Amino acid sequence: MWLRIAIGCPLGCGQFKAGAGSGGSNERRPENATRFTSTIYRCPELPPSSAPFEFLAGEGRWGIPDPDGDFGPQPIDARKTRLSNIVQETGAKTIHYLYDFGDSWDHVIKLEKWFDNTTTEGLPLLLDATGRCPPEDVGGVPGYADFLEAIGDPTHPEHEHMRLWGPEQFDPNIIDRKALEVAVNALSEIWKPRRRTTRAK
């Protein structure tokens, strides 16, 4: 599956994870818009909040550090930065977003262009899309390949089982453009910057 989306900056890593889904500065750039090409093996639906994830760019890793530190070198806390910070700090034009370490879905996020002094009204915006999202719990890239092989071959021993298990009349090349637009438009509320409130003393 491949998407091209225009998004407004700033966008937090946690916000991206909530849509799909680095310690950085607090600089806000509300007048910038960014266009990303996202070539992904899993669609950016709302993943469970407990699902592990990491962003990889340059030599850096961003994720949720293990509070006990039992799993080797810890990633930078992704809750304290934004994707724009990662791009600016590393100079990377490609970011890998790894989601669900069991199935190892790899979202390849490519920065195509940074637009300065543009309005963020109406963003995010779906510009283009190809391919269909793989079924949930299909078993990662290898499992998805096995699934496609089975449903595409009536003589395959798992054909009937996979046909009944997966979405009805699944075609990896057919996309529901309207449904994708609705999903991307809904992200505008999730990704909207929150106003800080001052507590009364």
Note the pLDDT of residue 195.
Answer: 59
**pLDDT band per the 50, 70, 90 thresholds, residue 166:** very high
- Predicted local confidence at residue 148, as pLDDT: 95
Q: Measuring CA to CA, which residue among 144, 69, 150 is closest to residue 103?
A: 144
Length of the chain: 201
C-alpha dist (Å) from residue 116 to 81, 88, 124, 132: 20, 14, 16, 32
Q: What is the dihedral of CA 162, 166, 168, 169, to 10 degrees?
A: -60
List where CATH 3.10.290 sits in the chain: 2-134+174-190
| 11 pLDDT above the threshold of 70 | no
2-134+174-190 is a CATH 3.10.290 domain: yes
Which tokens belong to 180? 């994708």
What does pLDDT average to over the chain?
74
**Residue 150 reports pLDDT greater than 70:** yes
Output the pLDDT for position 51.
64
Residues 82-106 have a mean pLDDT of 84
Name the CA dihedral angle for 188, 53, 72, 143, rounded to a multiple of 10 degrees.
Answer: -170
Average pLDDT over residues 173-193: 81
The pair of three-digit structure tokens given for residue 115, joined into one six-digit string: 């637009």
pLDDT for 19 equals 45
Q: What is the pLDDT of residues 45-93, one digit of tens each?
A: 334 445 678 889 999 999 888 877 666 788 888 888 887 788 888 988 8
